[in-house]
């Protein structure tokens, strides 16, 4: 236990010292470069220098966010607005890029963070190192070197006036107290430094709400496009399938009506054909309804619907369900079709011989994970099935995560915030 505490305090001190050095070097240099590049915008040079400097600043700030998460478990989300994908090239594009970066509220907060980092941040980062190293001085004094420091009078070590061997030993007692404090408080002091950085490097409430509005606007457009595409598919399936069969059946019935007295045998054959056409039309209508909202999903819920999907797969599939109720019908439908597409992709592309699906609801979140033992290598791509699933889930503020190293296994995790009833 004590060894672990010493190690944690030592690491906090070393990391604090490293952060202090970054604050007095990189932060100062970046702040200077940024101010100079901004000052040169009126003469044109800054239009080219500013985006490059701000990109470097964002990379530096991103590194600090990463260190905050790795060293002190302090998550700091990135607040930057995404740059448009269709940004033009040349001088006009450079001007647009510079304007977009300067209009981003996160840019001003990055500059303010540099000022804080090279002042208060530098001090807060130095504290863990100082607490850990300061007791070493008491040992030096107790070793007899206090005489070198007391030629002009007493030497103050904290509250202890060192002027003799006894007072030097008393300084060691104070040093041990400081060392004990470093064991207890060093990790917390490092977290406090990163908390100070998070207050400026993280998004504000207004920025978070604005990003959420943008996200909801984007997903709403995706939902409208998906609904329109689904409507076109239903119309096409009805026109090419059931409608064509019903029209043909109506023509057959007209022919039967004309032949029923003249040629009863032929009329009987046409009746059999009409009966077969009606059965096929009914099957196609049932398949179409199942594609819109499967009856098993409406009647028995998401868990049994996923189990029914698994039974139709040619690969051995295990389904684990832990749901204490049912989500709303739109959420169940989105989750069902998302799981269906993930399972289909696993069968078609992974080469797996075993799939496991887990459906559960915890902490107000519907979580579904699909794992296969295939070859791995699944990735997002524009227009891919995974990007389509992500858009479908995004309509409900859901997220999709994929872990698929080369050689497998592949795990696709979907989360949708919802309540069960």
Of 263, 292, 321, the one marking the end of a domain is 292
Tokens of 252: 């057959």
Residues 6+ apart with CB under 8 A from 43: none
Verify that 22 and 71 share a domain, yes or no: yes
Cα→Cα distances 93→48, 58, 59, 99, 214, Å: 10, 20, 21, 10, 23
The predicted structure's pLDDT at residue 61: 93
Alpha helices by DSSP H, 86-204: 90-103, 105-116, 122-140, 146-149, 165-201
pTM above 0.85, yes or no: no
> Is 154 contained in some domain?
no
> Is 150 contained in some domain?
no
Of 167, 201, 235, the one marking the end of a domain is 201
The predicted structure's pLDDT at residue 219: 63
The predicted structure's pLDDT at residue 340: 85
Of 239, 273, 292, the one marking the end of a domain is 292
Task: Report the DSSP pairing between strands 316-322 and 354-362.
Answer: parallel
> Is 6 contained in some domain?
yes
Q: For residue 386, what is the domain's CATH number? A: 3.30.565.10
> Is 178 contained in some domain?
no
> Is 338 contained in some domain?
yes
* Helix, coil or strand: residue 209: helix
The predicted structure's pLDDT at residue 114: 94
Count structural domains, the chain: 3
The predicted structure's pLDDT at residue 117: 93
- What domain range is 121 assigned to? 2-132+185-201
Give residue-wise pLDDT tens across range 243-289.
Answer: 666 676 777 777 777 776 777 777 777 777 777 777 776 766 666 55
The predicted structure's pLDDT at residue 327: 85
DSSP per-residue letters across 326-364: ---HHHHHHHHHHHHHHHHHIIIII--SEEEEEEEEETT
Positions in the chain whose pLDDT score sits under 50? none
């Amino acid at each position: 236990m004590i060894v672990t505490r010493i190690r944690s305090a030592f690491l906090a001190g070393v990391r604090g010292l490293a952060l202090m050095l970054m604050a007095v070097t990189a932060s100062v240099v970046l702040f200077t470069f940024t101010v100079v590049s901004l000052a040169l915008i009126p003469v044109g040079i800054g239009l080219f220098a500013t985006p490059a400097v701000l990109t470097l600043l964002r990379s530096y700030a991103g590194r600090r966010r990463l260190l905050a998460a790795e060293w002190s478990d302090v998550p700091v989300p990135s607040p930057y607005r995404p740059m448009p994908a269709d940004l033009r090239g040349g001088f006009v594009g450079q001007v647009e890029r510079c304007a977009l970066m300067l209009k981003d509220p996160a840019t001003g907060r990055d500059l303010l963070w540099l000022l804080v980092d090279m002042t208060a941040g530098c001090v807060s980062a130095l504290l863990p190192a100082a607490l850990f190293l300061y007791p070493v001085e008491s040992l030096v004094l107790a070793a007899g070197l206090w005489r070198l420091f007391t030629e002009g009078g007493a030497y103050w070590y904290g509250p202890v006036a060192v002027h003799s061997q006894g007072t030097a030993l008393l300084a060691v007692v104070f040093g041990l107290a400081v060392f004990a404090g470093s064991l207890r408080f060093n990790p917390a002091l490092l977290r406090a430094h990163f908390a100070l950085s998070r207050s400026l490097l993280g998004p504000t409430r207004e920025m978070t709400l604005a990003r959420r509005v943008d996200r909801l606007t984007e997903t709403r457009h995706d939902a409208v496009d998906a609904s329109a595409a689904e409507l076109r598919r239903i119309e096409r399936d009805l026109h090419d399938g059931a409608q064509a069969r019903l029209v043909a059946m109506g023509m057959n019935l007209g022919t039967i009506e004309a032949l029923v007295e003249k040629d009863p045998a032929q009329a009987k054959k046409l009746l059999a054909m009409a009966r077969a056409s009606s059965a096929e039309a009914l099957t196609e209508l049932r398949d179409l309804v199942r594609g819109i909202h499967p009856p098993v999903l409406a009647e028995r819920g998401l868990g049994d619907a996923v189990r029914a999907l698994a039974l139709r797969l040619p690969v051995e599939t295990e389904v684990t369900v832990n749901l204490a109720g049912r989500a709303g019908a739109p959420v169940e439908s989105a989750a069902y079709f998302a799981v269906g597409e993930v399972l289909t992709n696993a069968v078609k592309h992974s080469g797996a011989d075993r799939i496991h699906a887990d459906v559960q609801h915890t902490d107000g979140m519907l979580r579904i994970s699909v794992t296969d033992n295939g070859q791995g290598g699944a990735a997002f791509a524009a227009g891919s099935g995974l990007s389509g699933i992500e858009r479908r889930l995004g309509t409900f503020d859901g997220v999709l995560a994929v872990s698929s190293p080369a050689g497998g296994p592949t795990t696709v995790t979907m989360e949708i915030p919802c309540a069960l009833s």
